[in-house]
Amino acid sequence: MQVEKCPQCGSPLVARTEGGCLVLKCTQCALEAVTTDPQALISDETAYSVRLRPVKEITPRVSASLAVALGIRAQTARDLLRQGGPIATDVSAVEVQRLHGLLSPLGFSLDIKPHFRWALD
Ligand SMILES: [Zn+2]
């Protein structure tokens, strides 16, 4: 299967397999996507919205790790956690995967609308 171009910057993509999935990586920008069906993922034009699932306890450490991951202020992160606001709206499937890859190791889980049909790990 041929996947030619990065949807973000138009540079060539390189692909490698990992655990039955294809990992696509842009040769120029930071784009990376994991999929069993790369062409479909890249051409998924759904506009997703991503919210944080509620966390048990909003400690300064939790707010700080979210702030660092998203590049926002700690107070903004804390408000996001308290209010459960969206962290991204109108984003591509590739961006959803990027956010998941960023936030999942920190213990955050994401609520993605509409239903996300691509691999997230
Ligand atoms: Zn790129």
Q: Average pLDDT in the 60-89 region?
A: 92
Report whether pLDDT(2) > 80: no
Query: What is the 64 CA–ligand 1 centroid distance (Å)?
Result: 29
Q: State pLDDT tens for residues 16-72.
A: 877 777 888 899 998 888 887 777 888 888 999 999 998 889 999 999 999 999 999
Query: What is the 23 CA–ligand 1 centroid distance (Å)?
Result: 14
Query: What is the 94 CA–ligand 1 centroid distance (Å)?
Result: 11
pLDDT at 13: 87
Neighbours of 56 (CB within 10 A): 7
- Could you give the domains of the chain? 1-43 (no CATH), 45-121 (3.30.1390.10)
Query: What is the 57 CA–ligand 1 centroid distance (Å)?
Result: 37
Q: What is the mean pLDDT of the chain?
A: 87
Report whether pLDDT(4) > 90: no
